[in-house]
Amino acid sequence: MDALINARLIFVFAVVVVAGCVAPKAYNVHNLDDASYSMPAKGTALISNVIDEQPSPELSGFYPLIDGLDAFAARIALIETAQYSVDLQYYLYHREETSQLLSAYLLRAAERGVRVRLLLDDLSQANLEQDLSALAVHNNVEVRLFNPLNHRRLRFLSFITDYSRVSRRMHNKSFIVDSELFITGGRNIGNAYFSGDHNSQFVDFDVLGVGPIVDKATMAFDLYWNHPLAEDINELSGSADSQDLAQLSSRLSRYVSTAFHNESPYIQRLKESTLVQTLVNGKLSMDWAEAQLYVDDPNKLLTDSRNNSTHMAPKLFAAMGEPRQRVNIISPYFIPKDKGLELIKKWREQGVAVTVLTNSLAATDVPVVHAGYADYRQQLLAMGVELWELKRNLDLAAQQPKRKGFRGSSTASLHAKSMTMDDDKIFVGSLNLDPRSFNLNTEQGLLIHSERMNRLLSRWITTEMPKYAWQLSLDEQGDIVWQDRKNQQRLTTEPDTSAWLRFKVWLMSLLPIEDVL
């Protein structure tokens, strides 16, 4: 969703209206003769060396990856210790320092005999396609693009000829090593997700998991990997050759060598990350709990959005049950629509405290979504919902000097997708609470039955959020007021925004955007 829904959506509306009579190009839903499946778990040294003992075979172990540096360090450590397989599934894979480092380590793993499968949504891979094609030349590497666009050069034409399909994307995030360790959550692959961008930063949340939950993750990955919408990259881009691979390998090797020998600022910070220091000094203390993995059926992209038989969200909310005391919601894009409002109203009438954290207009990376969300604020506040919006400028490094993941960042945007219920349930995944995630894109996430993980997020909401977010309320006239509890500031217009930006968002709100968000 991050790259798809933006200001260009207005252009898409115009194109669809003008080109509505253009017949969509037929997509070849093919049968894959080269299906492959996850390797059976055989026991990996990383688990025995750095993870505490599993108390029961029915329980899975979880370790939160809140800091961006920790999240990247975990991925590199897992690739470096992989013995058999590495499977990655992502929506975005930017051509930046972190993704280049990750690619270098994936290639290094392939060189020592590890099988690498890389499954990416096709929408935003244009600038990386040559690298990915070269990577796939290696005998131990396979790269597939999910739901590929029909037009490879003039990619925007696909939105004219086949809008209903290509506007729906694979938004899943999955990172699996040796079929025994698993990372999922909100992060894509790129600098802003791993505290590596000097200008902007995503506030995000991942979870590292071990135990029986990983079996579910491998089955979900295989389901997508072997789906007809997963196309081999060299069938789409034209086959690369061994010379392309050699050039890529040489460039990535130089990249890693330069970064580590010269100790780039990012590498210096990475070595000092909390996770790295924990691994150096001892074992990770896992939270052992019952958990379920919820994944959309990939056929969701090919079926009518009104048919929710392929959707994970109804199953997830049924499993979460009815709250008794409190619900905390963290979602960068929050558009509850009428059904969500009815549910929240019911909770409030039952005395359940509801807290929502989302992006402010200044912080969001997708202003058009804010246009869809803004009209719900007064209704939510009138119900008694505690509503917070993340500030754009976060001085996190000054307030938390040990949180090196935020150093060098001048702006921030919420990207974590999580929800806690009462004291014992927490959801972490790729699912935004908006119509696109529910009905159009494919998503996945974990429901963990854990008081410890629940407390971790709930404590951040109650103690840290007032430092980093505006609290919204209604004045006597029923208009919205933004309050900065930390600095005792009170505003009556969207904080840190220009009149021009507010006008553009208002203009977007006049369009029927909720049907495509």
CATH fold of 61-281 reads Endonuclease; Chain A (3.30.870)
Q: Kindly state the DSSP code that residue 424 receives in the 8-state scheme.
A: T
- Give 217-268 pLDDT, tens digit per residue: 999 999 999 999 999 998 998 889 999 999 999 999 998 988 887 778 888 8
Token code pair at residue 401: 């000097």
Rounded mean pLDDT, 372-396: 91
Within the chain, all domains assigned CATH 3.30.870.10 are found at 61-281, 294-515
Task: Determine which one of 67, 178, 204, 287 is catalytic.
Answer: 178
Residue 347, exposed/middle/buried by CB under 10 A (0-12, 13-18, 19+)?
Answer: buried
Write down the pLDDT at residue 7. 33
Catalytic residue flag (residue 422): yes
Answer for the pair 405, 203: CB distance below 8 angstroms, yes or no: no
Task: Determine which one of 287, 415, 425, 434 is catalytic.
Answer: 415
Apex CA 108: angle with CA 102 and CA 114, to 5°?
Answer: 105
Task: Determine which one of 94, 138, 173, 311 is catalytic.
Answer: 173
- Give 254-310 pLDDT, tens digit per residue: 989 888 877 788 888 888 888 888 877 778 889 999 999 999 999 999 999 888 999
DSSP structure string for 57-71? TT-EEEEEE-SHHHH
Q: Could you tell me where the DSSP H helices lie in 140-241?
A: 158-161, 163-166, 213-225, 233-237
Q: Kindly state the DSSP code that residue 334 receives in the 8-state scheme.
A: B
Catalytic residue flag (residue 402): no
Residue 199, exposed/middle/buried by CB under 10 A (0-12, 13-18, 19+)?
Answer: exposed
Distance from chain centroid for Cα 421? 21
Find the helix or strand (DSSP H, E) in which 176 lies. Answer: strand 174-177
- Give 469-484 pLDDT, tens digit per residue: 999 999 999 999 999 9
| 386, pLDDT greater than 90 | yes
Torsion of CA 425, 430, 434, 438, to 10 degrees: -90
Write down the pLDDT at residue 31. 47
Token code pair at residue 181: 């360790």
Among the listed residues 459, 448, 460, the one whose alpha carbon sits nearest the alpha carbon of residue 61 = 448
Write down the pLDDT at residue 69. 94
Answer for the pair 1, 169: CB distance below 8 angstroms, yes or no: yes
| Tokens 């491998």 belong to residue | 218
Token code pair at residue 73: 């360090």
Residue 10: pLDDT band (50, 70, 90) is: very low
Task: Determine which one of 197, 204, 365, 422 is catalytic.
Answer: 422
Residues 6 or more apart whose CB falls under 8 angstroms from that of 332 comprise: 358, 359, 364, 365, 413, 414, 415, 416, 417, 432
- Give 113-158 pLDDT, tens digit per residue: 999 999 999 998 888 999 999 999 999 999 999 999 988 888 888 8
Task: Determine which one of 227, 300, 370, 417 is catalytic.
Answer: 417
Among the listed residues 210, 208, 283, 173, the one whose alpha carbon sits nearest the alpha carbon of residue 41 = 210
Please give the Cα distance from 198 to 403 (Å, whole number): 15
Q: Is the dihedral of CA 52, 73, 187, 37 positive or negative?
A: negative
Of the CA atoms within 13 Å of residue 281, those in its CB half-sphere come to 8
Please give the Cα distance from 149 to 21 (Å, whole number): 20
Least confident of 276-290, 416-430, 503-517: 503-517
Write down the pLDDT at residue 406. 32
CATH fold of 294-515 reads Endonuclease; Chain A (3.30.870)
Residues 6 or more apart whose CB falls under 8 angstroms from that of 440 comprise: 167, 168, 169, 300, 305, 516
Write down the pLDDT at residue 33. 62
Distance from chain centroid for Cα 369? 16
Residue 517: pLDDT band (50, 70, 90) is: low
Catalytic residue flag (residue 171): yes
Please give the Cα distance from 83 to 96 (Å, whole number): 26
Write down the pLDDT at residue 14. 32
